Amino acid sequence: MVTSAGAVTGPDRPNTRPIAASAAHYPGPVPTYALPAREFALVFGVAALVTFLSTGVIRLVAVRLKAVTPIRDRDVHSLPTPRMGGVAVYLGVAAAILIAGQLPELERAFTSSSQLIGVLVAGGLICAVGVLDDRFDLDAVTKLAGQVLAAALLVFFGVQWIVMWLPAGGEAGGTIVSLDQYQSTMLTVLITLVLTNAMNFIDGLDGLLAGVAAISGIGLFVFSAHVLEVSADDTAASQPPLIAAALVGACIGFLPHNFFPARIFMGDSGSMFIGLTMSAAIVGAGGTISSSSYGPRSTVAALAPLIVALAVVFIPVLDFLMAVVRRTREGRHPFSADKRHLHHRMLAIGHTQRQAVLVFYLWAAVVSGGAVSLAFVTWQSALWPVVGATVLALLVTIRPRIRARRLRRSRSRGLPGRIAGGDGAGVDSSSGDGAAGVDSSSGDEAGVDRSSGDGAAAVGSSSGDVAPGADPSGDRRDAPAPAGDPVTAPSAPVEKGTP
């Protein structure tokens, strides 16, 4: 029954309670679901622990099966490294979901829908296809067929985008459109295919995909948990936050093994599984619950599900679309490998591997955080913080190029190599703040680190300036020209065995 305060009570809603929403946020009192935070935390912890512990075992299995990424001219890594890390990610997600099925507070997520079982079945299939690719290097057509079949399995188990709010028509300035079976199936399959391949494309640096997926998953969890809380619909809205919590935990558990220098790569088994799982969570959060059920504040707020869905995967999808357009215009296969992914561009302008990965983490946090904020505040309130964060991320991204330009100006004026303030071209044996020199201690800038091997090409790719320093112990990159001689920036390497 419904109480006078607007809360639903009785055996069907034992966890709801009346909370009057502020008029600045919602038009009136909204029934609010008591979010099972402890249960979601347990799901996260189980996924992280199982993934962390099983990764070492999977690494030994990969070595025994010879599922190892060889050393090629186009790769970043300098040592043969096992793949198949995605199997550990799948085991973590599967264990967390199965444990969640035994928790009373999350039981309705399983009894009301078969979506979670669909994620396990389709995820198992796509992970198996990825394992075969990690071992035998399948052709693109075979992988695409596996992706389509896995996406169809998601639809078969009820993962479908069925409602969409459009800002046109209607008395309230918009219309809620319900998609038919054919439309929802095609849209869900398309989203799954795009995300599966986008995650595969971005997996080119140690820890890049796992970290970006974890940050995007956190944003998706916050949004979907908010939808669950304010809609009080634990039958249709409880699956996405559960999937997101399990995925974030698995990615966090895998990161210690995968961050630079990586001891195991995620491989196609992991990148495709993460893309499919993210797709299931996005479709469930954005295309299952109508925004009218939780009181949209404005047109932008009503579009929040679609905006969040696009934002949390913005970086992988952007890289994917740029690569497909670029290769198609050049008359090449859309899935052929090249050296111009976004992470290669980060290396080309002077970031080290660690720095490039952290820059992507920052962008993922800015984009997904800004989108998710629309579910909590008005877009006017979120605008300036997002603009400020975007400017900060942009400055961090182009910092090596700015330093290279300052170095070039100092050389043209005939000044000593070391610029006032500590930014110079020479060797800095104490602070490691040289823009292009050799850092014998920390390797925290664009130069070469003698100890950790974390150096990346210190170049301004547009100007052609290169640092004169190099690692005398035998770095994998080409030897630099003598000091003062202009040379061309070395080509950035491409990702580890992915297109």
Question: Token pair of 28, please?
Answer: 């009136």
Q: How far is CA 378 from CA 42, 170, 297, 303, 423, in A?
A: 32, 22, 8, 12, 42
DSSP β-ladder status, 163-166 and 81-82: unpaired
Whether the CB-CB separation of 94 and 127 falls below 8 Å is answered with: no
Q: CA-to-CA distance for 78 and 97, rounded, in angstroms?
A: 37
3-state secondary structure (DSSP) of residue 427: coil
Q: CA-to-CA distance for 260 and 262, rounded, in angstroms?
A: 5
Report which DSSP code applies to 330: T
Residue 453: the pLDDT is: 40
3-state secondary structure (DSSP) of residue 381: helix
What are the φ and ψ backbone dihedral angles of 17, each rounded to 5 degrees? -150, 150
Q: CA-to-CA distance for 236 and 467, rounded, in angstroms?
A: 57
Residue 33: the pLDDT is: 62
Residue type, 42: L
Spell out the residues 6+ positions from residue 357 whose beta carbon is closer than 8 angstroms to its own. Answer: 205, 206, 207, 208, 211, 259, 260, 343
Q: Structure pTM? A: 0.71
Phi-psi sector, 332: left (phi>0), alpha (psi -120 to 50), beta? beta
Q: Which residues pair with 163 in a beta bridge?
A: 178
Stretches where the chain sits below pLDDT 50 are 1-31, 295-299, 417-499
What count of residues does the chain have?
499
pLDDT digits (tens, 9 = 90+) for 386-440: 999 999 989 998 888 888 788 888 888 765 544 444 444 344 433 334 333 334 3
DSSP β-ladder status, 459-460 and 16-19: unpaired
SS3 readout for 359-382: HHHHHHHHHHHHHHHHHCCCHHHH
Residue 162: the pLDDT is: 86
Residue type, 135: R
Whether the CB-CB separation of 177 and 166 falls below 8 Å is answered with: yes
Element at 126 (helix H, strand E)? helix 115-136
Residue 319: the pLDDT is: 74
Residue 44: the pLDDT is: 97
Spell out the residues 6+ positions from residue 384 whose beta carbon is closer than 8 angstroms to its own. Answer: none
3-state secondary structure (DSSP) of residue 16: strand
Q: CA-to-CA distance for 235 and 108, rounded, in angstroms?
A: 6
Q: CA-to-CA distance for 347 and 351, rounded, in angstroms?
A: 5
Q: CA-to-CA distance for 194 and 199, rounded, in angstroms?
A: 9
